Amino acid sequence: MDHPAGTKVQLNRDHCLTLLREMIRIRRFEEKCAELYTVEKIRGFLHLYIGQEAVAVGVMQALGADDAVVATYREHGHALARGIPATRIMAEMFGKQEGCSGGRGGSMHLFDKANRFYGGNAIVAGGLPLAAGLALADQMQAKPGVSTCFFGEGAAAEGEFHETLNLAALWRLPVLFVCENNLYAMGTALGLSESETDLAAKAASYRIASEAVDGMNVVEVEAAARRAVDSIRRGDGPRFLECRTYRFRAHSMFDPQLYRDKSEIEIWMKRDPIVRFRDWALKAGEMHDADVTRIEADVAAEVAQAVEFAENGTWEPVDTLLHHVGAESRL
CATH of the domain at 154: 3.40.50.970
> What's the average model confidence in pLDDT over 106-126?
95
State the pLDDT confidence band at 8, using cuts at 50, 70 and 90: low
Residue 313 lies in a domain: no
pLDDT digits (tens, 9 = 90+) for 35-63: 999 999 999 999 999 999 999 999 999 99
DSSP string over 57-78: HHHHTT--TT-EEE--SS-HHH
Residue 286 lies in a domain: yes
- 136 pLDDT above the threshold of 50: yes
State the pLDDT confidence band at 330, using cuts at 50, 70 and 90: low
Strands 239-244 and 184-185: unpaired
Residue 321 lies in a domain: no
Contacts 24+ apart (CB under 8 A), 297-301: 298/21, 299/21, 299/24, 299/25, 299/28, 300/28
- 118 pLDDT above the threshold of 90: yes
> What's the average model confidence in pLDDT over 234-252?
95
pLDDT digits (tens, 9 = 90+) for 58-100: 999 999 999 999 999 999 999 999 999 999 999 999 999 999 9
The pLDDT, as a whole number, for residue 2 is: 45
Q: Which of 49, 18, 39 is nearest to 252 (CA)?
A: 49
pLDDT digits (tens, 9 = 90+) for 154-205: 999 999 999 999 999 999 999 999 999 999 998 888 988 888 999 999 999 9
Instruction: Provide, rounded to the nearest whole percent, the portion of the chain with pLDDT above 70.
Output: 96
Eight-state DSSP code of residue 160? H
pTM, to two decimals:
0.93
Residue 314 lies in a domain: no
- 3 pLDDT above the threshold of 60: no
Residue 318 lies in a domain: no
The pLDDT, as a whole number, for residue 4 is: 40
At residue 327, what are phi and psi to the nearest 5 degrees?
-60, -30
Non-local (6+) Cβ contacts of 309 within 8 A are: 87, 90, 91, 98
Residue 97 lies in a domain: yes
> What's the average model confidence in pLDDT over 132-151?
97
Residue 133 lies in a domain: yes
The pLDDT, as a whole number, for residue 258 is: 86
Say how many domains are in the chain: 1
Residue 236 lies in a domain: yes
Q: Which of 272, 231, 284, 295 is nearest to 11 (CA)?
A: 284
The pLDDT, as a whole number, for residue 321 is: 86
- 5 pLDDT above the threshold of 50: no
pLDDT digits (tens, 9 = 90+) for 9-36: 778 999 999 999 999 999 999 999 999 9
Between 323 and 49, residue with greater pLDDT = 49
> What's the average model confidence in pLDDT over 142-161?
96
Contact between residue 152 and residue 69 where contact means Cβ atoms under 8 Å apart: no
Neighbours of 111 (CB within 10 A): 20
pLDDT digits (tens, 9 = 90+) for 294-322: 999 999 999 999 999 999 999 999 988 88
Q: Which of 102, 109, 45, 98 is nearest to 76 (CA)?
A: 109
* CA distance linking residue 72 with residue 22, whole number of Å: 19
State which residues form the domain around 92. 13-183+192-305
pLDDT digits (tens, 9 = 90+) for 261-292: 999 999 999 999 999 999 999 999 999 999 99
The pLDDT, as a whole number, for residue 326 is: 79
